[in-house]
């Protein structure tokens, strides 16, 4: 065994490309101001590694798709503000055509703020309430086209034949169909799916759109998503923005998967641009590739500069198979969606947008559920209606991680297994590990984090006093390493703001732990184990000195089975799993911690059935394997293990003696012993490398 000390244990898609019109020549100065504001808001211009922890800053926005204004206001106050979301993208707020389908919102009738989302007064109330808790509002602005057909809009306005409250036939391009996306003129002058295409090069149209945007900014709207931007010439958008007051954030929908006449790079002079390649390539990699490929994700993959990109795992279009869809991952993919979002939020590229969807039950045209999200005292999330992905713990925790690592806009200490296990740091600000393998990630990972115990923010939150975590904790050793043990398809994320500050001894984490070791034995033979944490490893990595205070490498236990008259005397005063033989007040004939013989079935030929429940040995319901499985059943303090793992080695008294060296796979550090998991049922075979771990 690695450690054996004999001393007793001691206690301790529409415009022709043209030159910038003269009337907008002053726009160049203004656009620099807009873009600078955008990047600062998005936390995208940070470089280098700060030595001082910066205050958390909002770095992520959420698309509350088809939420009404009252629901959004409540969500800002109850969740988004406290959780640190930067902003909400809301559905188009202006008058649109009648109908329940989601896309009716993208067929404008007028610019009155009367829509399925609510009234103008409700919209203003929402903006004010969200701003009061630090959450900005970004409006999805549909300015490329107007509604198709004829009828009455949601505010009562009539429309048809290119006649609308704000526009007449003279304000539109002549009707034509886009059938060739390699033809720039066609893409920017013809009609996107038969929607009347506004002549955005017209001074009147530009001013009318600017008036609408100015109305929104005067209310307090902080930014805009420009729908169908590639169907408008960049110069037209510049001219419109030159007439808009203030410096709102702008991000433009430009679906660019390559091979077309119009590219997303053209639009970066106006503001941010949606990077659809990010969504499809991330989906391809998480579904069919290797996460190890992601070490240079972003510009290294031919994407937009980070400072110009809005990124997302999915959006309202491509999750329905529209708008540049590919191998897109959505809420329907469960844990895969969790892990993809964790990567997006942890990796320093772009301004991330989290999607918050509803279940459309296979009908890609279906509108939102009829029931509100905040339904009286009930929250209608996570079921068959509203999905509320922004509240999922891995996604919300990922946002928290990004907010607390924005002062280190680099990746450091990248590690991968060559396949689907990865880990990386954000300097001294944070560290994340993702496991998409069919086996646990067990490795010693180098970090730049300060030693200590941290809250895994994907699974819990740091208490207000900083002294405890509501979920899983991760320990950074004195040398900056983490002895990782990440379960199948799981992840952890720790950051500088989630370090437990208590100087008190760690809180005990007592869990029932069972070990079975199979060994063919005979009457008069008994099995003992010794174990704990390897001395050299603990001294080097955990800041312990087990040579002088050997209890530091031992693990506190309490025996659950004292019914076996043979082993009960050895269990008395056996308070630790340790490397040292009999404890000071334990029966001195004990060779360590005793086990009890068990079987899965007691043959009738053996006479009266013996059971561990009555006799302390014999049949036991946890033994599903067979005869001669020696069993240890204890309550163990998991806080004294190495991220839930510990070593054991078996000894058969009056028989085989000690086991030889064991070469078990996927251990947290090099060991020639069995490695068990605290809080689990562990099955080993004497002198073999196999292991089976089961939940209770």
Whether residue 441 sits in one domain with residue 378: no
Dump pLDDT digits (tens) for 579-617. Answer: 988 888 899 999 999 999 999 999 999 999 999 999 999
φ, ψ for residue 391, nearest 5 deg? -95, -10
Out of 114, 227, 380, 659, the active site residue is 227
Residue 123 domain flag: yes
182 in a structural domain: no
Domain harbouring 516, CATH code: 2.60.40.10
| 171 pLDDT above the threshold of 80 | yes
> Which residue, of 443, 477, 498, is where some domain finishes?
498
Predicted local distance difference test score (pLDDT) of residue 542 = 82
Whole-prediction pTM: 0.71
**CATH number, domain with residue 77:** 3.20.20.80
Q: Is 253 a catalytic residue?
A: yes
What tens digit of pLDDT does each residue of 328-368 get? Answer: 999 999 999 999 999 999 999 999 999 999 999 999 999 99
Alpha carbons 84 and 68: distance in angstroms, whole number: 21
Per cent of the chain over pLDDT 90 is 81
Considering the domain boundaries, does residue 434 fall inside one? Answer: yes
Q: Pseudo-torsion of CA 613, 617, 621, 624, nearest 10°?
A: 180
pLDDT tens-digit readout, 184-224: 999 999 999 999 999 999 999 999 999 999 999 999 999 99
pLDDT at 518: 97
Query: Looking at the structure, do residues 492 and 516 belong to the same domain, yes or no?
Result: no
* Tokens, residue 648: 């054991």
Please indicate, yes or no, whether residues 622 and 569 belong to a single structural domain of this protein: yes
Residue 675 lies in a domain: yes
Q: Are residues 372 and 437 in the same domain?
A: no
422 and 368 share one domain: no
Over the stretch 620-678, which tens digit does the pLDDT of each residue have? Answer: 999 999 999 999 999 999 999 998 999 999 999 999 999 999 999 989 899 999 999 99
> Do residues 481 and 541 both lie within one domain?
no
Residue 147 lies in a domain: no
E strands in 478-559: 481-486, 490-495, 510-518, 526-532, 555-559
Number of domains in the chain: 3
Active-site hit among 71, 197, 253, 596: 253
Residue-wise pLDDT tens digits, 127-150? 999 999 999 999 999 999 999 999
Q: How far apart are CA 362 and CA 321, in angstroms?
A: 11
**Of 403, 429, 452, which residue constitutes the final position of a domain?**
403
* Same structural domain, 310 and 356: yes
SS (H, E, C) 379-407: ECECCCCECCHHHCHHHHHHHHHHHCCCC
- Of 504 and 117, which is predicted with more confidence? 117
Within a domain: 292: yes
Residues 514 and 615 in one domain: yes
- Picking from 378, 403, 428, the residue at the C-terminal end of a domain is 403
pLDDT band at 508; cut points 50, 70, 90:
confident
Per-residue pLDDT reduced to its tens digit, 382-423: 989 999 999 999 999 999 999 999 989 999 999 999 999 999
**360 shares its domain with 297:** yes
Within a domain: residue 150? no
Q: Note whether 650 and 533 are same-domain residues.
A: yes
CATH of the domain at 436: 2.60.40.1180
Please give the residue range of the domain that contains residue 107: 25-44+56-142+224-234+246-403
Instruction: Identify whether residues 563 and 642 lie together within a single domain.
Output: yes
Q: Are 464 and 517 contained in the same domain?
A: no
**Residue 138 forms part of a structural domain:** yes
Mean pLDDT score of the chain, rounded to an integer? 90
């Amino acid at each position: 065994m690695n450690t054996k000390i004999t001393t007793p244990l001691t206690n301790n898609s529409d415009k022709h490309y043209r030159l910038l019109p003269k009337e907008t020549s002053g726009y160049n100065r203004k656009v620099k101001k807009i873009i600078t504001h955008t990047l600062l808001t998005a936390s995208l211009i940070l470089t280098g590694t700060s030595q001082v922890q910066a205050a958390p800053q909002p770095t992520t926005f959420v698309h509350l798709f088809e939420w009404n204004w009252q629901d959004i206001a409540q969500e800002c106050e109850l969740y988004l503000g406290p959780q640190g979301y930067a902003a909400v993208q809301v559905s188009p707020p202006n008058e649109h055509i009648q109908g329940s389908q989601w896309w009716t919102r993208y067929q404008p009738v007028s610019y009155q703020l009367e829509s399925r989302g609510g009234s103008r007064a409700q919209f203003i109330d929402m903006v004010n309430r969200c701003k009061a808790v630090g959450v900005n509002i970004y409006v999805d602005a549909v300015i490329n086209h107007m509604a198709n057909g004829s009828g009455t809009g949601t505010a009562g306005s009539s429309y048809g034949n290119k006649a609308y409250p704000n526009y007449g036939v003279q304000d539109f391009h002549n009707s034509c169909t886009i059938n060739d996306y390699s033809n720039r003129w066609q893409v920017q002058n013809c009609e996107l799916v038969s929607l009347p295409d506004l002549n955005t090069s017209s001074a009147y149209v530009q001013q009318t759109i600017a008036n609408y945007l100015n109305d929104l900014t005067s209310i307090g709207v902080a930014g805009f998503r420009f729908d169908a931007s590639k169907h408008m010439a960049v110069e037209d958008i510049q001219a419109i923005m030159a007439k808009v007051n203030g410096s709102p954030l702008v991000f433009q929908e430009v679906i660019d998967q390559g091979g077309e006449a119009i590219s997303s790079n053209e639009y970066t002079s106006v503001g941010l641009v949606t990077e659809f390649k990010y969504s499809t390539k991330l989906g391809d990699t998480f579904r069919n590739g290797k996460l190890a490929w992601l070490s240079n994700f972003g510009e290294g993959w031919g994407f937009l500069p980070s400072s110009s990109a809005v990124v997302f795992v999915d959006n309202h279009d491509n999750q329905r198979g529209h708008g540049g869809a590919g191998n897109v991952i959505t809420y329907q993919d469960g844990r895969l969606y969790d892990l993809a979002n964790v990567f997006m939020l942890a990796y320093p590229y772009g301004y991330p947008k989290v999607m918050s969807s509803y279940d459309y039950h296979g009908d890609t045209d279906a509108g939102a559920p009829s029931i509100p999200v905040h339904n009286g005292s009930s929250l209608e999330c996570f079921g068959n209606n509203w999905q509320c992905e922004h509240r999922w713990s891995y996604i919300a925790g990922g946002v928290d991680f990004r907010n607390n690592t924005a002062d280190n806009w680099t990746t450091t200490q990248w590690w991968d297994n060559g396949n689907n296990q990865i880990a990386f740091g954000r300097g001294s600000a944070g560290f994340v590990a993702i496991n998409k393998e069919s086996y646990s990630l067990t490795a010693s990972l180098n970090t730049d984090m300060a030693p200590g115990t941290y809250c895994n923010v994907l699974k819990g939150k740091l208490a207000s006093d900083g002294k405890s975590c509501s979920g899983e904790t991760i320990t950074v050793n004195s040398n900056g390493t983490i002895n990782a043990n990440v379960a199948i398809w799981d992840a952890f994320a720790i950051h500088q703001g989630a370090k437990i500050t208590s100087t008190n001894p760690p809180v005990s984490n007592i869990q029932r732990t069972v070990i079975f070791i199979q060994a063919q034995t005979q009457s008069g033979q008994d099995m003992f184990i010794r174990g704990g944490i390897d001395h050299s490893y603990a001294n080097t990595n955990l800041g312990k000195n087990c040579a002088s205070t050997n209890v530091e490498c031992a693990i506190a236990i309490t025996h659950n089975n004292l019914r076996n008259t043979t082993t009960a005397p050895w269990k008395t005063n056996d308070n630790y799993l340790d490397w040292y033989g009999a404890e000071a007040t334990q029966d001195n004939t004990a060779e360590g911690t005793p086990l009890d013989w068990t079987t899965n079935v007691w043959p009738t030929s053996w006479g009266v059935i013996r059971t561990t429940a009555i006799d302390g040995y014999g049949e036991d319901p946890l033994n599903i394997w067979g005869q001669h499985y020696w069993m240890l059943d204890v309550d163990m303090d998991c806080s004294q293990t190495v991220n839930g793992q510990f070593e054991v080695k078996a000894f058969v008294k009056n028989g085989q003696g000690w086991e030889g060296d064991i070469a078990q796979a996927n251990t947290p550090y090099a060991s020639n012993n069995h490695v068990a998991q605290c809080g689990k049922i562990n099955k080993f075979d004497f002198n073999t490398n196999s292991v089976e771990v089961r939940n209770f």
